[in-house]
Amino acid sequence: MLDSYEVFKQSIYNMTKIDLNSYKERQMKRRIDALISKHGITSYADYVIKLKKDKVLFDEFVNYITINVSEFFRNPDQWNLLEKEVLPNLFEHFGKNLKIWSAACSTGDEPYSMVMLLSKFMPLSRIKILATDIDKKVLEKAAIGLYHSKSLKGVPEEFLRKYFVKITDTTYQISDCIKSCVEFRQHNLLREAYPSGCDLIICRNVLIYFTDEAKNQIYADFYAALKKEGILFVGSTEQIIQAAQIGFQNYRSFFYKKM
């Protein structure tokens, strides 16, 4: 049905700077083929033409190929470890004005979770987190801060009462005081320069979709972006196999310290 996927990947890169070669090809190609078929399009070439002409179709494509599965306080045991051990260690080394980057932040669940957790240690006025993602549409959703109740199942009751307003039976709005602590910015992990001097970088449940080569490059770039003794917090399926070769110490499960 479809013509050259290689030509298609190059066309997408020219249009978006998203490098599909860095994603696991079989999985990504299956997702893209399903999207193309949904619109009754029979070739990659025709799809590219339509993407160039139709902004709605283009935005749908970018949103579809970037993986946006997230929830507040996902894997609560890891957030508990962050609260009880990791943050106190960071405060000891760097003070409480931490430079925190939430990379590939999707719809904002993780940086907002981080703000709420930090509110246990300091006033909101002292908290500022940089949150980035390649997908402009999810960043817009994050800035709005409207969430389905399913995303909030891991939110501690104290935070749910304090920082969310129930809009409908299944929809909640996060408070402006939490939103004001996060700066959202579009960023491509594979193509653009990283922030420097970070004390804590959060990037969870994203790199599993990348090739080993791309993952190794991103981990090396995270290492360079961290201060010495800074921490990288990864997802529950993203153990760094050769962490020591990069320069990381396995500080705790899913937490890596720059040595």
Task: Based on the fold, state whether residues 123 and 82 are members of the same structural domain.
Answer: yes
Beta strand residue intervals within 16-155, DSSP E: 100-102, 129-133, 146-148
Which residue type, as a one-letter code, is found at position 209?
Answer: Y
Alpha-carbon span 18 to 35, nearest angstrom:
17
196 and 247, same domain (yes or no): yes
Please check whether residue 152 lies inside any domain of the structure: no
Instruction: Find all residues with CB under 8 Å of 45, minimum gap 6, and list them.
Output: 3, 7, 8
Q: Which two tokens stand for residue 4?
A: 């050259």
159 domain residue, yes or no: no
Per the domain annotation, does 41 fall within a domain? yes
Same domain, 113 and 209: yes
Query: Is 211 part of a structural domain of the chain?
Result: yes
Same domain, 96 and 184: yes
pLDDT confidence of residue 68: 57
Does 1 have pLDDT greater than 70? no
Residue 87, helix vs strand vs coil: helix
Pair 19, 87 in one domain: no
Same domain, 201 and 240: yes
Structural domain count, the chain: 2
- Residue 36 is assigned to a structural domain of this protein: yes
Determine the pLDDT at residue 156: 96
Query: In this structure, are 136 and 23 located in the same domain?
Result: no
Question: pLDDT digits over 208-230, tens only?
Answer: 888 989 999 999 999 999 999 99
Is 192 in the same domain as 234?
Answer: yes
CA atoms within 13 A on the CB side of 95: 4
* Both structure tokens of 134: 């390649």
Report if residue 44 sits inside a domain. Answer: yes
Strand spans (E) along the chain: 100-102, 129-133, 146-148, 164-166, 171-174, 182-186, 198-203, 226-234, 248-252, 255-258
Q: Do residue 208 and residue 242 come from a single domain?
A: yes
- Tell me, yes or no, whether 100 and 25 share the same domain: no
CA distances in angstroms from 122 to 110, 118, 127, 141, listed in the order given:
18, 6, 8, 27
Model's pTM, two decimal places? 0.81
**C-beta separation of 138 from 66 below 8 A:** yes
**Residues 111/213, Cβ–Cβ less than 8 Å:** no
Q: Which long-range contacts (CB under 8 A, 24 or more apart) does 214-222 make?
A: 214/22, 214/23, 214/190, 216/242, 216/246, 217/190, 218/189, 218/190, 219/243, 219/246, 219/248, 220/246, 221/189, 221/194, 222/103, 222/194
Which has the higher per-residue pLDDT, 66 or 153? 153
Within this chain, do residues 53 and 89 fall inside the same structural domain, yes or no?
no
* Single-letter residue type at 182: V
Predicted confidence band of residue 20 (pLDDT cuts 50, 70, 90): confident
pLDDT value at 66 more than 70:
no
Q: Which residue range forms the structural domain that includes residue 81? A: 76-144+176-258
188 shares its domain with 246: yes
The answer to whether residue 168 is domain-embedded is: no
Describe the crossing of helices 5-16 and 44-53 by its angle, rounded to 10 degrees.
20
More confident site: 183 or 30? 183
pLDDT in tens, 147-202: 888 899 999 999 999 999 988 888 898 999 999 999 999 999 999 999 999 999 99
In this predicted structure, the answer to whether residue 112 has a pLDDT above a threshold of 70 is: yes
Q: Could you say which of 41, 65, 89 is where a domain stops?
A: 65
Report pLDDT for 187: 96
> Could you report the per-residue pLDDT of 87-111, keeping only the tens digit for each?
999 999 999 999 999 999 999 999 9
Q: What is the pLDDT of residue 65?
A: 73
